[in-house]
Chain A
Amino acid sequence: MNLSVPVIIIFAVFGLLGVGFYGLLITRNLIKVVVALQILVKGAMIALILAGRMVGQINLGQSLALTVIVADTIVAVVALALAVQIRRTVGTLDVRSLTNLRR
């Protein structure tokens, strides 16, 4: 397989998506969940830029990536605010301790 630039970048994209999903699957800490989401979104952003570059519309890709950056930052802000308030209310950041349906 020849390693051209799109192939290397697509490996980065799927690597980031894989690491992000892996983090979502194994972690129980709420702040770590936000970190895993950020990594997932980084993969999506690079994929948007690469797709825009491949079809010759890099400006459209940049516009979409800019929207994704803003949405991702807001998601991080709101999720961290939720995590802080959950820590204050429940006393822990463990995802498992939030459920009370299994008693």
Chain B
Amino acid sequence: MLYIVLVAGLLVCAYMAIRTGRLLSSALWLAGASALTSIIMYLLGAPEVGVIELSVGAGLVTILFVFAINIAGDEAIEVKALMPWPLALVLVVVAAVMLIFMALPGLGANLPQAQLTGFVRTFWEDRGLDALLQIVLIFAGTLGMLGLLAEARPDSHSKENS
């Protein structure tokens, strides 16, 4: 029952993040979806990743969105989507139903018992390449933040030189 409430709230948050008009509301609905995702992860037996998702997904990414919307402006573009929305809805529903019918026979009746220790060992010893990849990605993200913060002043050098 708890899972049903959480999943329903998660889907409502995700749908509202797409359908709401203002970008700021969209970012806040996304933060709610992220928080519910982290609760589901915790209940599934993944508390470490749940905490990281809560702090990064609901915290850092939301702040980034609010920052970017603050710079770029809350511009509502609601005229004429890329394709008519009934067509998009039909395509998505057909794809989701086909995937669900493919996936359902493989699911067991209940979850096996979770092992709750050893994440640190698995991550640092078995998945060392992932850690290296994450360091590279964080470096790329730092460069991305510089792009977010950079001011567009193409003629500043010419003014200084003249």
Contact = CB atoms under 8 A, between A and B. Distances in A.
Contacts of A50: 44
Contact of A81 (B4, B41, B122, B147): B147
Contacts of B104: 7, 10
Given A22-B92, A54-B107, A73-B60, A93 B11 contact: no
A59 B93 CA distance: 32
Interface size range on B against A: 35 or more
A12 to B, nearest CB: 4
A25 B92 contact: yes
A98 to B, nearest CB: 12
Given A12-B40, A73-B56, A18 B71 contact: no
Given A4-B110, A70-B137, A65 B26 contact: no
Interface string A48-61: 01101110101111
